[in-house]
Structure 1
Amino acid sequence: MKIERFDCTGRMSRVVKYGDMLFLSGVTAGQAGESVEEQTKAVLARIEELLEQHGSDKEHILSTTIYLKDISDFAGMNSVWDPWVAKGNEPARACVEAALAAPSIKVEMSVTAAVKD
């Protein structure tokens, strides 16, 4: 099967497609907001955009890894995640505390999804 790489930066690809699978690199909020809730909303909106651009949607997410700068933001992140996630299609998920690439980043998510039929 062919491997397709999109939005390559010389260091990484933002999206990789292999067969009917999509792999999204860590998605952050950019300059969107200071609170974990604001950043989570921006991250999830960006994930939806990337999935749509590559033939998928949130109902086809298989797994998500969530990285929080501070695990005490777990409830705040979930206050945005829970109403967003596709009921009946909840992905496998892990959430960990991690030192992220920039001090302003409070949440980062990486996603594996299936391409829609």
Structure 2
Amino acid sequence: MHETGLSEAIVAAAVRRAAGRHVTGLRVRIGGHAIDPDVVTQGIQVAAAGTVVADAAVDLVLEPMTVRCHRCGRDEPVRDHLAMVACPRCGGVDIEVSGSDDVVLESITLASPAMGAV
């Protein structure tokens, strides 16, 4: 499952950045990927169990790619992978897909020493 690998990679990056300190929040920007945000959030929570990221709040910022059909002029965000192959409105394949497909761990929030951070 795509979301599982994505979630595990996000947690691994957060653990490296935290360097042993307790993480209370993550902000992740996901571009282009047609993903279910609830599945990714749950995947992050599962992957984080037993790590310094366990129980961290997850803030996902989704930036879907856009597809423009040269046949009918449709210009909308991509909602699924099929829209990147053919226009959902007219079935045309003369389409242009734009946007980023990057996944970026934008920030982590660390627990303050008063909260019992290590």
* Larger-gyration structure (1/2): 2
TM-score (norm. length: structure 1): 0.45
Q: Report the TM-score, using the length of structure 2 for normalisation.
A: 0.45
Instruction: Identify the structure with the greater strand proportion.
Output: 1
